[in-house]
Structures are given as structure tokens and as C-alpha cells.
Homo-oligomer: A and B are copies of this chain.
Amino acid sequence: MSRQDEGRGGADGGPTVTERVLGILSAFGPGAEALTLSGIARAAGLPLSTAHRLVGELAAWGALERGEDGRYRIGLRLWEVGALAPRSLGLRERAMPYLEDLYEATRQNVQLAVRDGHEVVYVERLAHPEAVRVFSRVGGRMPLHATGVGQVLLAFAPSVVQEEVLAGPLPPLTPKTITEAHALRRALAAVRREGVAVCDGMVDPVALSVAAPVRGEDDRVVASLSVVVPSAGAEPRAIVPAVRAAARGISRALGSPAARRRPLGVVTPLTGAAAGEPAGAERGA
């Protein structure tokens, strides 16, 4: 009874079965899409026989699939369930047409991301094969302070979150990454003022990103949208309006009251999807 516990939220005894199962799923990640049974056991800290049993059950259900090479991968069934996550599906579904337009107009990288804790999670990404290489991938994570989408999400996050991030370490990804709290604080203020974040070379020296906030029903910022272009010869001013317009269009599609108001005399540059639905028609003014 005096044995120090390792999991189980402070109670004594080993981790619960549920925790072990989730631990098995955690063993998979970017760069670890296919694992051997032993690999899973090692990563999850389980005895081989235990892992064997649990993995067998997961595979029987379809959460894992066993390839011809004997290694396990995440199964289609788990993907299906995951696809039901509202922060992915609902958002994605409505955002797609706008992302399409933006992609089509820029022929570069278009990204859609949400915040989870102190990180950005990329929910969707459209990348032209010839565009600048970006490090993000769908389902991938990045720190908030170093990315365009991250700065937007942070700028509109609850102040508790902001302070936590500002208090914590701000590791640099490139020499240009903001690493000082007061500089970040100023950047966030600018983002709130301008409604966009422009990050030059903070993730990759040769890439520049322009990001804008996407708002939900209650006008809270629920996501962020960005375009990544080559840093060299980039003309942010040409991109900013398009990004802003797309973000606003998605916000409107999500039911944001603020986005419903017409920006006086501003014609949405990307008419394709935006013009499709006469959103403001019902309630004149």
C-alpha cells in the first residue's frame, strides 16, 4: 500500500484498464503510424502479455488494424468515430467551400486550426504540391506563440490561457520566433486590433503566414484560418483582405452575429462561395 502510484489520478494501485487502453492509443502519433506489438507495449509501459490481450480486443473492434507486416495501425473504425468530433466535422464542413476559394485564389497553403490547451491543432490543410513546404499536418500540433493561427487563437483566448502561455517558456523554432513575453504581448494586442496576424519566418525561415479569427454562434473565436506563402517577395497586403473575407465568411456560416453585419461597401473578394447564400437577407437592419 505504500507503493507509489503512477497513474489512476492519485489513488493507489496501477492504472485502470481504460487508462491502459488509452495509453495504447497514445503510443501512436505522427512518425509512429505503424507499431509492432512490442513497440506498443514499450511505449505504453505495459507487459507484453497485457498489451497482447488489449491490442487484440482493439483490433477485433476495428480501433486498430493489423497490416500484412504484422504491425498495427490505427483502424478505420476509430477514424470514423473521431470524425464525429464537432470541432473537426462541423467546422470543417462549413469551412471547406471558403478554404477552397482561398486555395484556388492563392494556390498556396491554406490551413484551418483550433486551440487545445496551449497548442494549435490543425484541422484541415490544403496544400499545393508546388507551394512552400509547411511543417504542419492534419491532426498535428504546434505551439501557440510561434504560428500565425496560434497567435490569433491566443489573442482571443481566455486571459487565463494567455497568462499561462506568457508565463511559460516560449521556445524558438527559428531565429525570428518571438520568445519574449512582452514582445508576444504586443503582438497579441496588434492581432486584436488588426484582426489578422502576420508571421514572417517564425516557423520556417522562408515562409510567411497570414491568419485571421473564425467566430462561432456566440461570437467567441473558435478557430483560425491562415494562408502560408513564400517569405521572399511576399506581399501580405494582397493576401490580408482575402484571408479576412474568408474568415468572416466561415464565421457567418457558423452563425456568428458579428460576421452577419455587413462591412460597409466592402465587397467580398472571393465571391464563389460567399455569394452563394444571401445570408444577410432575412434581417435588413
A273 to B21, CA, bound (A): 41
User: How far is the CB of A58 from the nearest CB of chain B, in Å?
Assistant: 7
Q: Check if B74 sits within 8 Å of A81, measured CB to CB.
A: yes
A80 to B121, CA, bound (A): 8
Q: Check if A139 sits within 8 Å of B84, measured CB to CB.
A: yes
A202 within 8 A of B: no
A33 to B74, CA, bound (A): 21
Cβ-neighbour of A126 out of B16, B33, B84, B96 (below 8 A):
B96
When distances are taken between beta carbons in the complex, the residues of chain B under 8 Å from A33 are 84, 86, 89-90
Which of the candidate stretches A23-31, A157-165, A204-212 sits at the interface with the other chain? A23-31
A50 to B98, CA, bound (A): 44
Which of the candidate stretches A127-135, A181-189, A225-233, A237-245 sits at the interface with the other chain? A127-135
Give A85-103 interface residues, CB cut-off 8 Å to B: 85-90, 92-93, 96-97, 100, 103
Q: Check if A100 sits within 8 Å of B82, measured CB to CB.
A: no
Cβ-neighbour of A78 out of B76, B85, B129 (below 8 A):
B85
Q: Check if A100 sits within 8 Å of B126, measured CB to CB.
A: yes
User: How far is the CB of A140 from the nearest CB of chain B, in Å?
Assistant: 8
Copies per complex? 2
A16 to B56, CA, bound (A): 12
A205 to B54, CA, bound (A): 46
A172 within 8 A of B: no
Q: Check if A129 sits within 8 Å of B76, measured CB to CB.
A: no
Q: Check if A82 sits within 8 Å of B78, measured CB to CB.
A: yes
User: How far is the CB of A74 from the nearest CB of chain B, in Å?
Assistant: 4
Q: Check if A18 sits within 8 Å of B85, measured CB to CB.
A: no
Q: Check if B116 sits within 8 Å of A76, measured CB to CB.
A: yes
A196 within 8 A of B: no
A129 to B101, CA, bound (A): 12
A22 within 8 A of B: yes
Q: Check if B114 sits within 8 Å of A76, measured CB to CB.
A: yes
Chain B CB within 10 Å — which of A30, A88, A116 has the most?
A: A88
Chain B CB within 10 Å — which of A18, A33, A90, A103 has the most?
A: A18
* A interface residues, Cβ below 8 angstroms from B: 9, 16-19, 21-22, 25-26, 28-30, 33-34, 54, 57-58, 60-63, 65, 73-90, 92-93, 96-97, 100, 103-104, 114, 116, 121, 126-130, 137-139, 141, 273, 276-277
Not counting A29-B84, A97-B128, a sample of 20 additional A-B residue pairs whose C-beta atoms are within 8 angstroms of each other reads A17-B18, A18-B58, A19-B57, A22-B57, A26-B81, A33-B84, A33-B89, A73-B84, A73-B85, A74-B81, A74-B85, A74-B86, A76-B85, A76-B116, A78-B85, A79-B85, A83-B139, A93-B137, A100-B103, A130-B276
